Amino acid sequence: HPLSLPVPRVVMTLVIRNLQRAVPLRRARLRRDSQTLRQVLGLTRFDLALICVDDQRIQALNGRYRGQETATDVLSFPFHQDLRVGDIPKPLYQDEYNLGDIFLGVEYIYRQSQIQRQDFYSVLTVTTLHGICHLLGYRHSTEAEWKQMFQRESNTLKLFNSLTGASLQPLTQNF
């Protein structure tokens, strides 16, 4: 039946919601950098939501879903739950072209960027990549998992940097 065949998808949707007022945020920069990351990772056919929140909201989410009552930089909620690490989803239906949702704790990220004397938007971009890697099944509970994720982030940022002229590095250099 022709209606049950997978529909090729060319255009992705990137939704960015700013639900916080603690930090002034230029969504255009976040959108541009996120679209470039998706291009480098081969994910332009997939929908993705980035939700920017303050410390209070990210702390509530972190407590509810991870049992940790503290603010954090990023929480990822993958649409595809059982991906092998690094695999790109292979959707059968139109509504499965979704990576998931990433909550960015922009107040936390801003504070960390100030402490480390780093550009806020650079840290925001690298944190977004970290969230995308989690949507692709990467974890960092063990040193082996961390090395695998670090390698993917490093390789992605090298390509990102060559396309944009930036000089971004993964946030965490050691396990």
Local confidence band at 82 (pLDDT 50, 70, 90 cut-offs) = confident
Phi, psi dihedral angles at 47 (to 5 degrees): -75, 150
* Burial (CB count within 10 angstroms: exposed 0-12, middle 13-18, buried 19+), residue 91: middle
Band of the pLDDT at 173, cuts 50, 70, 90? confident
> Which strands sit side by side in the sheet containing 47-53, from one edge to the other?
14-18, 47-53, 98-105, 74-78
Q: What pLDDT, on the 0 to 100 scale, is given for residue 1?
A: 46
Mean pLDDT for 60-76 is 97
Buried b (16+ CB within 10 A) or exposed e, 120-159: bbbbbbbbbbbbbbbbbbbebeeeeebebbbebbeebbee
Q: What mean pLDDT, rounded, does the chain reach?
A: 92
